[in-house]
Each structure stands twice: as C-alpha cells, then as structure tokens.
Amino acid sequence: MSTDVLLLNLTRFGDLLQSQPLIQDLHDSGHQVGLVCLDNFAAALPLLRHVDAAWPLPGAKLMAALDRDWRTAAAQLLDLARRIRREAAPRHVVNLTPTLPARLLSKLLAPTPEAVLGFGLDPEGFGVNQGVWSSFLSGATLRRLNAPFNLVDMFRMVGAPLFAPGIAGRPGRFSLRTPPDAAMAHADALLARPENLPMSAHPKGFVALQLGASEARRQWPVAHFAALGERLWREAGLCPVLLGAPAERPMAREYAACAARDRTPFVNAVGRTDIPQLAALLRKMRLLATNDTGTMHLAAGLGLPCLAFFLATAQPWDTGPYLPGCCCLEPALPCHPCSFRQPCPHGHACLTRISPTSAGDLILARLEGGGWQAGLSPELRREARVWLTETDARGFAGVRSLSGHDSEDRSLWLSQQRPFWRHILDDLSSNAAGQAAGPANGHIEKHAAGQTGGQLDAPPCSPDFCRQVTPVLAQAARLLDMLSEQGRLTGKSAKAGQLFLLNCERLQNLLNACPPLASLACFWRELRQERGDRMDELLHFVGLLAGHLERWAAHMTVSSRNPL
C-alpha cells in the first residue's frame, strides 16, 4: 500500500475531482499516488484514476470529538496520522488545502519538512507555502477576482516539481472512470419513470439540470430552470433530469409545481443518488445546464458539455469547467463578479439577468448544430458575457469571449495577467535551484528575467486603466531594486536592515492600495513571509521579480499610448 507521493485535498467535492489532472501527471511521471480526502466524499474515489491507495479522513467525527474533549480529538488525529504515514510511507506530500489543520496534517505525514509541496508549516508552527506556485495559489484563494488561471492548472503547478520533463508544459488531462454497472443500472431505473409524461410520448433524450449551488446568491432561479426545461421538451423532445443533494429537495418541489402547471415531464433525481450514481446519470445525458457546482466538474471529468451560470462571486476564469467546448455565462453587469463577504447593493439583480429564452437558444444551437454561436442573439449579448472554454497555446485552460465582452477592461486585464504571471512564476520556479548565484548578481538576474519568454501577445487595456496601474508597477519595480541593494548590506549595517524592512512594507502597502494588483499584493506578502529567514533566496527572487515588473510596466505604457 506504500506510495511515494501522498496528496492531501480536504476541500469540497468539486475541488477533489479537480485534483484528477494532477494525479494523472504524477502517475505519468512514474509516481505511485496516495490520496487523503474527507470521508463524506470517499464515494468519489472509484471514479478517480491512478489513485493507488486512499485514506478517508473522518472530519465530522473529529470535530464532534473536539467538542467533547480536545485531548481525545488530538489523540485520534495523531493515531490516524501515524497509521497513514506507516501505511503510505510517502517520500513526498503534496498538500492542496491551505487551512491550518491540513497544514498540520501534512507536517505529521511527511518524512521531513522539506518533503512537503504546497501548504505546510515552518519549525515554529507558522504557515509556509512550499514553491512559488503555492504562494500564488494561496493569494488566488484569498483574492479570486484577480485569479487568471483555472484552479486545476494551479493545482497541477503546485505538484510540478515532481513531474517528469515535458509534462508540466502539456495540457492537463481530466478523465474520470466510468461508473460501476450497479450505478448505471440505478440511473436507468430513474430515467424509466419521468413524471408528467403523456402515455404516448417518448423522450428523445435527456438534459440534466443542476438547480442548487453552494449559496443561494449563486443559484439561477428555479423558475428559470423550469421555463428552460419546458422549452427543451416542447421544441426538442428532451426530458429534463433534476440533479442535486437531499438539501436541495425544496427546489425540486418548486420545479415540480412549475412543471405540473406547464404539463412538462421531468425526472426528479434530487437526493436520490450517491456520487457514482450521479456520475452514471450524467453519462446518459446529452448536456448539463448548471450553476458553478461540483456537479459541473463531475460532468467535465466525464466529457459531458455544459452550459454553466456564474453568478454573484463566481467567475469562469478560475472555476470554470476543465473541458474545452463548454459555454459559461456571466451576467453583463458592471458589478459582476461581486466581492466576497459584502452584501449586494443591487438586490441580487444578477440572478435574473440571464433569461431562460437566451439559455434555451444556446442549448438548442449546441444540440442541433454542434456549436453555441448560432444561439447568440443581440438580446443575449446585452444580458450576458458568453465564454467558451478552451486550451491556450501553453497548455493551460482558458476562456474565449463569444459575445464581444473581451474588450472590457476586466477581461483584458485578466487576459494580460495570464502571460505575465506565467513568465514570472515559471521563471521564479526554474531559478529556485539557482539561488547560489547570490544577491550580488541581482541586476544580472533582473536583466535576464526581463528578456525571458520572447515576444508577449498580451492584449492592451484601455488607456485610463493603464494609467491607473502602470505607475504602481513601475514604482514597485523601483522598490524591488532598492530592496536588492539594501538586502546585500543587511547584517553589515543596522540602518540598511531597517530600510529593508521599511521598504518591504512600503511595497506591500503600495500593492494593497491598487485593487487590480491584488494577486501581486498577496504574492509579495507570501513571498517575503516565507523567505524572510533565507535572505539569499529572497533577494534572488527580488531581482527576478523586479525585471518582470519593469517589463510589465513598459508593456502597459505602450498599451496606453497605442490602444486597440
């Protein structure tokens, strides 16, 4: 049962599924992969490929024990960690969960602290992120509105130091196993009994509708789903199949009331499937219409195309389906996506912005002609930003606008961040082993970094946006240059050490005050905190980062003078 790489993912169902491409990459690199996940998602394990051993963590049981007696809970966790470590005997631990309990568990499971990739703990018990992609993922988790990469690719790059040559540069492969025969038989039994089906009628196929989401403010209205289902039956003879967990049964009852009024057949599978049975149902569907949910990621792993609604805080850039050819809809409102933990001042207008008519046009176009474009209408372009999922030239998942909203500053900025962050993170990752060059070569490193990657094809933002961001990038590069100089004198001059710390904080405050640079602000905070006790390594990265920011500022300056 021993494995040389132990993967920890103690997050949600969808995030667990999105570990599959990383597991595939590790397997293709010759590793035996073990997995620690929450026990309430253990039913998904038979769907994952190349998991050589798995240890479900009884999170709810441990929390209940903690409420009774923390000493008992700690003893149970230690016993479990010892058993996993003994059975797995891992050489490396890849922790994708940034919480403190998961960091502690990774420390207990790893043979040495240096064997942890991703989210770990330092010797004093403070959180540390091992690897520059881990630092970026940590910041992206906190400030997702500035995350230009799909979560799957960020997971993959956290584990990339363990990949064989060439694997990190290829597109990720998200392919789940076929559900077991018993689950397929259960799906057939559910589909055999649609409600409201006329005696002489026979469905020409099935379309799945995922009604729920993690929050009510991220749910397309049930009445909209019902209107969509009625049209798909009336015009295409497709029977809607309702999907969801037991807690979503009230929404299924609301849908049933609408369907009874419209005399529309449907299959109610809400609360009537486990994870393999849900996968089996999806295998029998022609398409999925869904909110941003774990069901959407399950469908992507099974190769089922979907029409996905991204409302409130959700956006397809980072949590969209990892499957080319899916269609993602965001409400075309200036306030979308909204910030986390803030009440909506607009009465949740985004929920009803996208009409059932527009969604139906897209689905019928996709089912009848194989593409979404025929379903685009002037009305839809006013209602929604329409995105098509695809793979970019460097193997990462991305989205492309079908509705002309790629000219908005938010879209342009996210597109521009992708090549620059790839240059920055790939350069810092590849140079991590070259720290021996030392801080004295900071200017040489900066110059080399500025020449890395050849011609950039990042699209320019508007002149006003560029004028907002460019001075901050330029000032940040200058501060990094100052840090490089002052860092070489720390230990020799008390004043240089004080100035170094002061300018570290000045840089942090500068970036914090510029919302478009939220990801950079989080990245700098993580970078300096993790390497504050390794000055040579920190200064090595400071020199590299300065060159990239100078180049970024120069690109923004040209863009402001020569807009598209």
CATH number at residue 34: 3.40.50.2000
CA distance 18 to 21: 7
Q: Which residues are bridge partners to 128 per DSSP?
A: 120
Give pLDDT tens digits for 237-284. 999 999 999 999 999 999 999 999 999 999 999 999 999 999 999 999
The answer to whether residue 486 is domain-embedded is: yes
Q: How far is CA 141 from CA 374, 422, 483, in A?
A: 36, 17, 27
CA distance 235 to 300: 26
Provide the percentage of residues in the chain whose pLDDT is more than 70.
Answer: 92
User: Looking at the structure, do residues 395 and 463 belong to the same domain, yes or no?
Assistant: no
User: Looking at the structure, do residues 402 and 447 belong to the same domain, yes or no?
Assistant: no
Q: For residue 559, what pLDDT is reported? A: 62
Give pLDDT tens digits for 355-377. 999 999 999 999 999 999 999 99
Give pLDDT tens digits for 181-213. 999 999 999 999 999 999 889 999 999 999 999
User: Looking at the structure, do residues 134 and 246 belong to the same domain, yes or no?
Assistant: no
Task: Scan for tokens 């700098």, then name that residue.
Answer: 524
Radius of gyration of the chain (CA): 25
- Average pLDDT over the chain reads 90
* pTM of the predicted protein model: 0.92
- Report the number of distinct structural domains present in the chain: 3
Dihedral over Cα of 343, 345, 350, 352: its sign = positive
Q: For residue 491, what pLDDT is reported? A: 64
Choice between 500 and 274, residue whose per-residue pLDDT is larger? 274
User: Looking at the structure, do residues 138 and 197 belong to the same domain, yes or no?
Assistant: no
- Please say which residue of 99, 128, 162 terminates a domain: 162
User: Looking at the structure, do residues 241 and 384 belong to the same domain, yes or no?
Assistant: yes
The boundaries of the domain holding residue 285 are 181-407
What DSSP string runs through 481-540? Answer: HHHHHHHTTTTT-HHHHHHHHHHHHHHHHHHHT-GGGHHHHHHHHHHHHHTTT-HHHHHH
Task: Scan for tokens 């009331």, then name that residue.
Answer: 257
User: Looking at the structure, do residues 276 and 414 belong to the same domain, yes or no?
Assistant: no
Give pLDDT tens digits for 501-542. 999 999 999 999 998 998 899 899 888 887 767 788 889 889
The encoded tokens of residue 520 equal: 């950079």
The answer to whether residue 176 is domain-embedded is: no
User: Looking at the structure, do residues 452 and 422 belong to the same domain, yes or no?
Assistant: yes
The answer to whether residue 392 is domain-embedded is: yes
- Please say which residue of 98, 127, 162 terminates a domain: 162
User: Looking at the structure, do residues 32 and 63 belong to the same domain, yes or no?
Assistant: yes
- Please say which residue of 360, 383, 407 terminates a domain: 407
**Mean per-residue pLDDT, 410-429:** 89
Query: Residue 346, class by beta-carbon neighbours within 10 Å (0-12 exposed, 13-18 middle, 19+ buried)?
Result: exposed
The encoded tokens of residue 30 equal: 């010759």
The answer to whether residue 173 is domain-embedded is: no
Q: What is the DSSP letter of 136?
A: H
